[in-house]
Amino acid sequence: MSLTEPRSETLRFRLSSLAGPLSRQLLPLGLIALLLVSIIAPILALLLKSLLNREGGFVGLANFARYIGEPGLSIAIWNSVSLSALSTVLTIAIAFPYAFALHRSAIPFKGLFRVIMLVPLLAPSMLPAFGMIYLFGNQGVLKSWLMGNSIYGPIGIVTASVFHALPHAILILSAGLASGDQRLYEAARALKASWFRTFVNVTLPSCQYAIISAACVVFVSVFTDFGIPTVIGGSTNVLATDIYKQVIGRFDFELGAVVGVMLLTPALVAYGIDVLARRNQRATFSGRSVPVVLGQNRMRDGLCTLLVVMVTCAILGIIGMAIFGSLVRFWPYNLTLGLHNYEKALSDPDELRTIFNSLLLASSVAVAGTCLVATSGWMVSRKGFSGGLTQVMQALAMVPVAVPGLVLGLGYVFFFNNPANPLHILQGGMTLLVLCTIAHFYTVPHLMAVGALVKLDREVDLAAQALRSSPVATGRRIHAAVLGPTLVDIAGYLFVNAMTTVSALMFLFNAQTRVAAIAVVNMAEGSRFGQATALAVMVMVICLAATALQILVRNVIIRRQPWRRQAG
């Protein structure tokens, strides 16, 4: 120990041995407490509320019995289930060939098609619905295509839902199709299998879990989406709009809680199916698979190009139509183009404030959420902390993906509105909206952080520990650099989702904290379609700018990390 002064070392050890166990327990415990309050407690409050009467007395399943007696309920359930199922089937039927074209064919301009299909993610779910209305609505340019049917209702809900869910499904299916095994295709060829037999026996099995997963995600997102049926549903009643009617229209919180439970149940079932499917997938995954090599096949490439062009044209057409509609002075009578709708929407200080609120919410969610996710992902993946606590944390972080936003939001109302709760002070403030939005979108960023960190060998931490580096110091000196670019992606994901989400905030906002996406719904309800579309387009433009910034910052970070470049 020629370099060390013994005195300073013993002092440091004494300090670290005091601080070590404390931070090792306190930090994860604090984060677990936060996750419990922001995720679990509201859900429990909702479950409890569904079993209580207005005075707070326990009534068992009486609320459920009362709800089942409601007129129109069976129709709402049937509508929700059938429309979600139909949307799921259609979404997968389009998303699978699209993902196949991106990964298993030699179509031109792949990068472009990969980007275009992501555009719907950057807009509120209502935007495609507006596009549909301009195209096929009562005054729509292509109204005759519907042969007398109305877009307001099942047709509109399903079409807009498919457009909104498409990017999610394509992303999940892409992951499945990207990891094929060339050896299986060579074996099939050696056995003289036809293209169709190979597809059925090799391609489909290799991505069956991705298909199940995508179907579950799409079903739940359509089943629980609130914006689309509100805008384009007409008189078609679904559970997601019913919960809103019960709570906001009739102040019947107990029935609202019952509908919440009914929305939560299929979401949990779908999540369970997804988890089981993933578990099986791990067993069949081979670490030694060889990446698929694309053979020449003109017919395949031709068909794929045709399909991809049609889908992207539809996406761009619907979004373009919404943008066009927002620029028109008075649809369909005065087609003069201009920013009339934008000026009108922004001239009202109440509406203008929603944009600033959205920016405040999205930035706060991006900053605070990224910090939280970085911490939880780091603790879960690095094991420098007590194993039991990190397991609890991992389990908690996985819950939000199975909870519909409407359910979480309503749970927030029940939990934080209770005057007996010391956290009651948050009620009505922007902080609660931030907390709810972070909780709602917690799972995916958490998994992104974990995924980035588990690539780093666990023994690296032990090596650092052997060199007398505390877990926090190792996190700062090593893990932060590894995680850096992913954190930018996480912040971008949280920002865009916070900008576009409606469902979780529907019950939480007030006049002071109303955000733009909710203002879009309100304007649409008030038949101010031009302004609603203009506001939705503004949200999309902000998200586009944020995403461009995200890509820029991430690239700058990666350029400043020469260690990521392999030896040439």
Partner 1 sequence: MAPFLSVKDLSKRFGATTVVDQVSFDVAKAEFVCVLGPSGCGKTTLLRLIAGFEQAQTGSITMAGENVTRHRPEERDFGIVFQSYALFPNRTVAGNVGFGLDATGARVAQQRARVAELLALVGLSDHAAKYPAQLSGGQQQRVALARALALSPGLLLLDEPLSALDANVRARLRLELLALQRRVGVTALMVTHDQQEALAVADRIIVMNRGRIVQCGTPQQVFETPADLFVARFMGEMNAFRISSVNETQICAGPLRIGRGAHAAIPATGAHLCIRPSAVLIGPEAEASGQALQAQVWSVLYLGDTVRLTLHVGDADGVAIDVEVPSVRLPVLPRTGDELAVSFPPEQIRILAESRDQHLGDGV
Distance CA 261, CA 49 (A): 10
One of 177, 372, 464, 506 touching partner 1 (CB under 8 A)? 464
Pattern 302-341, partner 1, x by CB under 8 A: ----------------------------------------
Q: Is 349 in the site for partner 1 (CB under 8 A)?
A: no
Q: Is 565 in the site for partner 1 (CB under 8 A)?
A: yes
Q: How many CB atoms lie within 10 A of CB 10?
A: 10
Closest to partner 1 by CB, 140 or 471: 471
Q: How many CB atoms lie within 10 A of CB 422?
A: 8
Shortest separation between residue 392's beta carbon and partner 1, angstroms: 20
Q: Is 457 in the site for partner 1 (CB under 8 A)?
A: yes
Shortest separation between residue 6's beta carbon and partner 1, angstroms: 11
Q: Is 12 in the site for partner 1 (CB under 8 A)?
A: yes
* Phi (first) and psi of residue 255, to 5 degrees: -70, -35
One of 371, 473, 544, 549 touching partner 1 (CB under 8 A)? 473
Q: Which two tokens stand for residue 3?
A: 């370099």
Nearest Cα to 359, choosing from 444, 443, 434, 412? 434
Cβ pair 440, 406 in contact under 8 A:
no
Q: How many CB atoms lie within 10 A of CB 412?
A: 28
One of 178, 307, 456, 549 touching partner 1 (CB under 8 A)? 456
Shortest separation between residue 28's beta carbon and partner 1, angstroms: 18
Distance CA 420, CA 561 (A): 51
Distance CA 115, CA 112 (A): 5
Q: Is 4 in the site for partner 1 (CB under 8 A)?
A: yes
Interface with partner 1 by CB under 8 A: which range of 3-11, 44-52, 85-93, 260-268?
3-11
CA distances from 536 to 123, 148, 300, 515, 518 (A): 7, 29, 38, 11, 10
Closest to partner 1 by CB, 28 or 409: 28
Q: Is 556 in the site for partner 1 (CB under 8 A)?
A: no
One of 208, 305, 386, 465 touching partner 1 (CB under 8 A)? 465
Closest to partner 1 by CB, 19 or 93: 19
Pattern 18-57, partner 1, x by CB under 8 A: --x-------------------------------------
Cβ pair 244, 506 in contact under 8 A:
yes
Q: Is 510 in the site for partner 1 (CB under 8 A)?
A: no
One of 69, 148, 388, 562 touching partner 1 (CB under 8 A)? 562
Q: Tell me the CA end-to-end span of the chain in Å, nearest whole number.
A: 38
Q: Is 190 in the site for partner 1 (CB under 8 A)?
A: no
Query: Is 52 in a helix, a strand, or coil?
Result: strand
One of 284, 286, 347, 561 touching partner 1 (CB under 8 A)? 561
Closest to partner 1 by CB, 118 or 481: 481
Identity at 3, one-letter amino acid code:
L
Phi-psi domain of 52 (left: phi exceeds 0; alpha: psi -120 through 50; beta: other):
beta
Angle at 242 between CA 240 and CA 243, to 5 degrees: 70
Angle at 217 between CA 214 and CA 219, to 5 degrees: 105
Q: How many CB atoms lie within 10 A of CB 396?
A: 21
Distance CA 369, CA 365 (A): 5
Q: Which two tokens stand for residue 318?
A: 């619907």
Query: Distance from CA of residue 435 to its chain's centroid?
Result: 16
Cβ pair 506, 406 in contact under 8 A:
yes
One of 3, 147, 190, 293 touching partner 1 (CB under 8 A)? 3
CA distances from 43 to 51, 126, 256, 403 (A): 13, 26, 13, 9
Q: Which of residues 475-504 bind partner 1 (CB under 8 A)?
A: 477-478, 481-482
Interface with partner 1 by CB under 8 A: which range of 115-123, 231-239, 346-354, 459-467?
459-467
Interface with partner 1 by CB under 8 A: which range of 6-14, 152-160, 441-449, 537-545?
6-14
Q: Is 388 in the site for partner 1 (CB under 8 A)?
A: no
Q: How many residues bind partner 1 (CB under 8 A)?
A: 37
Shortest separation between residue 375's beta carbon and partner 1, angstroms: 19
- Interface residues toward partner 1, by CB under 8 A: 1-5, 8-9, 12-13, 16-17, 20, 456-457, 459-460, 462-470, 473, 477-478, 481-482, 561-567
